[in-house]
Amino acid sequence: MKAAALVRHRFVTVAGIETFYREAGPQEAPVLLLPHGYPCSSYEFRNLMPRLGDRWRLIAPDFPGAGYSGTPDDFDYSFDGYAAWLEAFTGAVEIDRFALYLHDFGSPIGARLAIRNPKRIAALIIQNGDIPYEDALGAKYKDIEATWTLPRAEMRKALADAISEETFREEFLNDLSPPLADTIPPDLWRLHWSLITPRRKEIAIDLIAGLKENRAWFPEHRKYLRENSPPTLIVWGPNDHYMPEKSARAYLRDLPDAELHLLDGGHWLLETHLEEVAALTRDFLGRVHTG
């Protein structure tokens, strides 16, 4: 049995922002870049990284305004702004070509990075990522869409009311059956809620409100997938109010050769189905991203 790789915890300055990131694996190994989702941080990858670090270099940053990274006032807290920052981060840690793990809000951010230079992307692993298919979104998205018809001030208030420790808890439990819900550690919502400041709450409002404008970018995301056809593993938990099984299958419209695996879990598979995801990822990367 292989010994688990140690995860290193570091800070680097990226575009003037103090940035926290986790790293595992040999410096010279092929890279898997792990941009995190909402309302989380690089913490979501803490258990996956040791399981793959014997063969790959895994790097998971905290976005500005999240986790242990800084929260500057003059940053562009949008999907475009985060993608530009993520590109700068890859330069700061000196990686050029890499596989991308796309989960939650990390999906539109990572996809924007891929579109900037498709040749840098060795492969995609898509795990309950925010999808670019309007007709395949889950029922919970209707709650967000309902705020789009409100005047701006009312919309922001409605979103602010939905950002609380209790809603963080609901985000992490997200449609899981009781036996699986019991495996989700409360550290997830309590840790991440403890890191919310008034400024970070405004950032979260901006990002969720930005989902409306993000719809106009969906065709560009689909075009990237269709025209570049990166090797892709889709591993999905269908018990997800936001992104159920139909969301996973929608990717096959533009990635017909993608490998699709549906697990009996939900949005946070790395908490409930870690070993299965790690094994599927290891097998996939062992075939498509070996250096």
Q: Tokens for 291?
A: 């250096």
Q: Tokens for 219?
A: 């065709």
Per-residue pLDDT, 2: 64
Domain ranges of the chain: 7-140+218-288
Q: What is the pLDDT of residues 184-236, one digit of tens each?
A: 999 999 999 999 999 999 999 999 999 999 999 999 999 999 999 999 999 99
Q: What is the pLDDT of residues 241-279, one digit of tens each?
A: 999 999 999 999 999 999 999 999 999 999 999 999 999
Coil/strand/helix, residue 38: coil
Q: Are 230 and 110 in contact (CB under 8 A)?
A: no
Task: Residue 111: name the closest of 142, 134, 80, 138 by CA.
Answer: 80
CATH architecture assignment, domain 7-140+218-288: 3-Layer(aba) Sandwich (3.40)
Q: Tokens for 185?
A: 């550690």
Q: Are 98 and 202 in contact (CB under 8 A)?
A: no
Per-residue pLDDT, 260: 98
Q: How far apart are CA 57 and CA 67, in angstroms?
A: 21
Q: Which is it for strands 57-61 and 17-24: parallel, antiparallel or unpaired?
A: antiparallel
Q: How far apart are CA 247 and CA 136, in angstroms?
A: 5
Q: How confident is the model at residue 291 (pLDDT cuts 50, 70, 90)?
A: confident
Q: What percent of the chain has pLDDT over 70?
A: 99
Order of strands across the sheet that contains 7-14: 7-14, 17-24, 57-61, 31-33, 98-104, 121-129, 232-236, 259-262
How far does the chain reach from its first CA to its final CA, in angstroms? 23
Per-residue pLDDT, 4: 78
Q: Tokens for 215?
A: 């719809």
Q: Are 133 and 218 in contact (CB under 8 A)?
A: yes
Q: What is the pLDDT of residues 154-176, one digit of tens each?
A: 999 999 999 999 999 999 999 89
Task: Residue 105: name the closest of 245, 243, 239, 288 by CA.
Answer: 243
Q: What is the pLDDT of residues 74-119, one digit of tens each?
A: 999 999 999 999 999 999 999 999 999 999 999 999 999 999 999 9
Q: What is the pLDDT of residues 56-79, one digit of tens each?
A: 999 999 999 999 999 999 999 999
Residue 104's region, left for phi above 0, alpha for psi from -120 to 50, else beta, is left
DSSP-derived letter for residue 27 is: T
pLDDT of residue 1 exceeding 50, the answer is no
